[in-house]
Amino acid sequence: MADWGLGPFGQGLLFGLALAMPVGAIGLLCIRRSLEHGFTTGFATGMGAAVADATYGAVAAFGMTAVSDFLLAWQTILALVGGAVLIWLGMQSWRTRARGPATTSPVGPHPLMAFCQTVGLTLANPQTILTFVALFAGLGVVLGGSAEWTPALLLILGVFLGSGIWWLILAGAVGGVLRRRLSEAAIAWINRGAGALIVGFGLLAIGRGLDLI
């Protein structure tokens, strides 16, 4: 990543945004929960990913090789478990029917539960560590016991806040604005579409875990 005179914090901020913005399984969960249950649950879902990404960033930045080696050694099991959870969540989304007006908040996962689920799902992809290793090495803020602590901490903080800003925008736009403009039928169809895609991401994770893809 180019410096552009931003410093470690600014670079981390941009990287956090870039990491969070592509629509994947977590993005779909955030959208779906923001529509169905409102801003708080949707934002909590996204912030789980931000915390997990920052955790993996810290593992990479400070050369915690024992941790990264352990996670990478178990990545097949983690992929299978994460894929199975995604399939379960996707099937739940497919079966969900709109209950009452779109402006109400049907009973759903507690924001803390939504947060913890997403932390676990994001941590189930330890390949993310390798992305951070490459980034931090390129920026010269790693490695091992000789890590430059201040730039590394600023970079990790930037990643966390950049990711968090994106989830704030997404959950706010969907849960605070869009859900008020959609009918029950539209929300139900979005739930089904999101559910099908989340199941697809789960199958993809399992396929990769089994080296089928």
Residue with more model confidence, 79 or 147? 79
Going by pLDDT thresholds of 50, 70 and 90, the confidence category of residue 172 is very high
Tokens of 195: 């559910």
Residue 52 pLDDT > 70: yes
Domain coordinates in residue numbering, the chain? 7-76+108-182
Residue 16 pLDDT > 80: yes
Total Cβ atoms within 10 A of residue 169: 15
Going by pLDDT thresholds of 50, 70 and 90, the confidence category of residue 133 is confident
* Of 17, 8, 12, nearest in space to 164 by CA: 17
* Of 49, 48, 31, 37, nearest in space to 173 by CA: 31
Taking residues 79-91, report their average pLDDT: 89
Under 8 Å CB-to-CB from 149, ≥6 apart: which residues? 62
pLDDT at residue number 162? 93
Least confident of 1-5, 66-70, 89-93: 1-5
Residue with more model confidence, 204 or 66? 204
> What is the distance of C-alpha 131 from the center of its chain?
15
